[in-house]
């Protein structure tokens, strides 16, 4: 190769410049911005229902199709609730925040609870699933968070098809079958007045009370925490137990490992 040719090629060969620090920092800056944005986004949650009602013995005896039931349906359940609870926002694997305000309750401090049952548009297996409030004895505000994967028959619902209505069932402290209308002493349960607010929180998000409309900013009632650890009741960690279906468990076993 002649000297002239070598010089010509040298002038035409592009020089690849080394990227400066700013080139490498650009993707990092975008990542930091996205993380900050995700941190500042509000919790993905919605109010499934917020109802205030009085419930009498006559109401319990005459509710249809099942007694001791208060039905949340029609305009009472959020019409803007998602049809699909699995996507694009995953509520199926999130939590439910239950807020119960007991406004009126007969004297006597009789243990009372409400089962909260999800009635789906499409079921499977048992066809519905239920969580519930803690046992309470006095008027006040009671709140709790429950995993959507932890309550009774949560897999009996096709979550991608949504929820049709919610059934609220007043019960005594004897377990899942203790419907209050069956009691020989109904005056200990009726009449009662409650406000119940149920908020669905997406997977990975945390319940934010400031996002719930018309919610008084009051602390929950102080109450002792009792954790059931009796293996005769709750059984060992591995395998099903005789009381794995809490509807058939005695009162002391109904909420194994949870607050009573």
Residue with tokens 């058939």: 248
**Mean pLDDT, residues 77-93 taken together:** 98
**Mean pLDDT, residues 4-17 taken together:** 50
Residue with tokens 């002391």: 252
Phi-psi category of 224—alpha, beta or left, where left has phi over 0 and alpha has psi -120 to 50? beta
**Residue, of 42 and 209, whose pLDDT is higher:** 209
* pLDDT of residue 16 exceeding 50: no
Under the banding of pLDDT at 50, 70 and 90, the label for residue 2 is low
Residues 16, 77: Cα–Cα separation, whole Å = 64
Under the banding of pLDDT at 50, 70 and 90, the label for residue 83 is very high
Least confident of 8-22, 92-106, 129-143: 8-22
Write down the pLDDT at residue 20. 56
Answer yes or no: are the C-beta atoms of 56 and 191 closer than 8 Å: yes
Dihedral sign for Cα 160, 166, 167, 173, please: positive
Q: How far is CA 13 from the centre of its chain?
A: 65
* pLDDT of residue 167 exceeding 50: yes
* pLDDT of residue 160 exceeding 70: yes
Answer yes or no: are the C-beta atoms of 200 and 45 closer than 8 Å: yes
Q: How far is CA 34 from the centre of its chain?
A: 27
Write down the pLDDT at residue 175. 74
Average confidence score pLDDT of the chain = 80
**Mean pLDDT, residues 132-139 taken together:** 97
**Mean pLDDT, residues 230-256 taken together:** 39
Write down the pLDDT at residue 29. 54
Residues 160, 122: Cα–Cα separation, whole Å = 9
Dihedral sign for Cα 177, 180, 181, 182, please: positive
Write down the pLDDT at residue 176. 77
- Closest C-alpha to 212, from 87, 76, 90, 98: 98
For residue 71, the cross-strand partners are 167
Residues 148, 130: Cα–Cα separation, whole Å = 10
**pTM for this entry:** 0.70
Write down the pLDDT at residue 243. 33
* pLDDT of residue 161 exceeding 90: yes
Residues 139, 136: Cα–Cα separation, whole Å = 8
Least confident of 39-53, 72-86, 140-154, 213-227: 213-227
For residue 107, the cross-strand partners are none
Answer yes or no: are the C-beta atoms of 157 and 123 closer than 8 Å: yes
Alpha helices in the chain (DSSP H): 3-12, 21-40, 57-62, 231-234
**Mean pLDDT, residues 240-252 taken together:** 39
Write down the pLDDT at residue 177. 84
Under the banding of pLDDT at 50, 70 and 90, the label for residue 35 is very low
Phi-psi category of 160—alpha, beta or left, where left has phi over 0 and alpha has psi -120 to 50? alpha
């Amino acid at each position: 190769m002649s000297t002239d040719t070598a010089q010509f090629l040298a002038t035409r060969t592009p020089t690849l410049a080394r990227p400066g620090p700013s080139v490498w920092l650009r993707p990092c800056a975008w990542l930091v911005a996205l993380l900050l944005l995700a941190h500042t986004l509000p919790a993905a949650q919605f109010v499934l229902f917020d109802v205030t009602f009085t419930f009498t013995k006559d109401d319990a005896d005459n509710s249809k199709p099942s007694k001791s039931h208060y039905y949340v349906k029609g305009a009472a359940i959020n019409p803007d609730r998602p049809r699909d609870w699995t996507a694009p926002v995953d509520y199926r694997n999130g939590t439910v925040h239950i807020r119960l305000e007991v406004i009126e309750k007969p004297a006597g401090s009789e243990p009372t609870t409400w089962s909260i049952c999800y009635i789906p548009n499409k079921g499977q297996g048992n066809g519905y699933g239920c969580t519930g409030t803690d046992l309470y004895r006095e008027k006040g505000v009671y709140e709790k968070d429950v995993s959507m994967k932890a309550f009774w028959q949560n897999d009996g619902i096709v979550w991608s098809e949504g929820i049709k209505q919610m059934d609220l069932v007043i019960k005594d402290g004897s377990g899942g079958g203790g419907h209050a209308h069956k009691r020989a002493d109904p005056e200990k349960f009726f009449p009662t007045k409650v406000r119940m607010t149920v908020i669905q929180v997406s997977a990975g998000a945390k319940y934010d009370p400031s996002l719930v409309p018309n919610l008084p900013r009051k602390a929950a009632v102080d109450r002792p925490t009792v954790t059931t650890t009796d293996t005769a009741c709750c059984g060992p960690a591995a395998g099903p137990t005789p009381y794995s279906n809490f509807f058939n468990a005695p009162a002391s076993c109904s909420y194994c490992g949870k607050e009573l």
